[in-house]
Structure 1
């Protein structure tokens, strides 16, 4: 017996196989581990009764613990004749197709690619409305590989004596509808009924669970103690874990028959995702798995090639009730320094949850003191009002963690004692990073401003002698190829110095301290001791005084507010935009020298407050 025949592969699992079936060649085999299904295509030399095929399917399901097994026969077209109609009718019944006895005792002839079926009990209209002719064609195409036309003749109409049969069929139909309604009602009642809770069997240790809150969602109750998620890897295999659900993603399969769930959860050592593929009509069992629920999961941890991460395919899922931390101190305190999410980078809780948790712990009040903002006050007030409405007594103390600002920061810096109403060199540097000491220049851009007018410009690429990081290239557009043949820093600085016209020039930059530090560090690399050779002016500091109402004082924000064109992070464009910004100050009558002598901030604000921003 050949190794590829059905008997060699499955003969030990199936008793009473006829010889033609045992010797049949296995043409195809499909296995679904998820669905526990097996489909085997058999190439047969003789017709095998459907009853024998079904008997073998049943034995394979029992021996292999399958939910479904299909043995699909494949015959030569020459074996097809009218006698095969009996096997077709049996297959229709096996597939639960509606035939209502109309195909009982039928006979058929097969000639010229047409299967003529001779009816004896009428019912042609019902058979055609149920698609029986289409299903018969499909069965013959699958088993004989032929496109066969199906025609009915004989007794096609219901006779008078069949009224009793029709009445009986209608009664059966009503019974089926009633059974389906009762089944649907039972499903709804099961959903509405609270899940039966069990006692947790394992040693919980420091896990924050209510011991009597274990409820099975699917599968069996979990009795093993969970491991932490940070210990899970692609080789872990079968694991038991727990976590709080923080996100649930749901979508349908392409054919719409299945629901694909991705349930994200964390045990606060790490996070993972639970992947579930369920039949659409059975997906309701997973409805309890919503954001905020705490779950216990037993499943298979493996590497998901589709998502490129480790995920867990669950066997058993249970929910548990998480214990809420309590304040057991006999004398309750009042927190006088609480931050909310409104404190940037300092808290993750919102004001409502903070107030409610303090009230649950028996506290009488709480102080909200965010960093420099009061935006949490309305939410906190609403939470306190809700507590009062329900009969509780709780007070919110409104505060703020304020900042003191040194408003005497000098706007003009430098060692030169000289007027600032003449010529200005407005410049900008592009670098390989944000560290003045470790990074290098890639571009210098500058313009010469005299009496509010741009008189000359300077722009040069600089070879940093190191690769430019990808993020810097994305920001500035400067690539390694663009600077490969450019002058080195020392030569570029000499050319920039020549453009400035000596030590009497006044340097101006947006965020000038950074650019000045970069210049100082570059000079020190070539043995030139850094000192303030030029007085310099910072347009950022001036902008903070001139436009206190802007959300920030970055160059692009200032340019948008004043209508100044800008191609940001290009040294030539940035320096020209900063020059136009300074010219705008000067045209408005601002005397920069006043800041050096008196730091008259009040005068600058008064001047700008009376002058609206440009559209």
Structure 2
């Protein structure tokens, strides 16, 4: 009969062949006879192919004039081999158990990393947007114009509209939008516009993807105004929306370029820095979106920033609510 055990090195330490790609061996006792002696040997057979004979006992002279192993010595050797095999097998079982546990832990960690970074595996739609308002206070002022451009292009890649704030517009000198232009029945109010806006965004969203919404000064102006308007109208900004502030990107670029950098971070200053024709310099939403679309691409080029890099620099709208609570 044959028994399968581990191969031992010269130092006596077991080599756990099954775990490191080597082959296990089968030790089969065979009998070799000649006219003067009789020995017990072991034939070593590799699973990869090939056999070699290894001697496991010594030859001793017998009273019959031949050479044969002593019964007690042969029994001791067999017992020793058996004990070594049992110990080695037990060691293998322990190591296999440990390896299995490690694989399970690693598998869980991998799944957790994927869960934590699922946005990096999702298709991304990048949309540049801009808003115009009746003033600077997000609590007291209202949005009066909004514009979006999907950088992937295609049909219906842009969306723009005036918004009826249902109040007097006191700052037309900044954007050229007067009270008469917006306080009309034909101009949608924000509570009527948000459902339309959500449908538009959903139409641009790829299955299972996220929206990357890019604005200049998004953290302190555009996104806080959106949050305020959504809350006022009892709507929730979808969790698939994430925001990028191009002022933060511009700071990175200017710091990298050093003294030669532009002296300002405004959209107009960045257009001058990149030698982009300003065209219509009035602060209307869609002209600003067109300029920012070009500036954003130049910033990402300077930063050698991929889509995943943009996502790393993005933030969810909940982050601003959390920061506001901390300050309070």
In the superposition, the TM-score normalised over structure 2's length comes to: 0.50
The structure showing larger relative contact order (alpha-carbon pairs under 8 Å, at least 6 residues apart) is 2
Say which structure is richer in helix: 2
In the superposition, the TM-score normalised over structure 1's length comes to: 0.27
Say which structure is richer in strand: 1
Flag the structure with larger Rg. 1
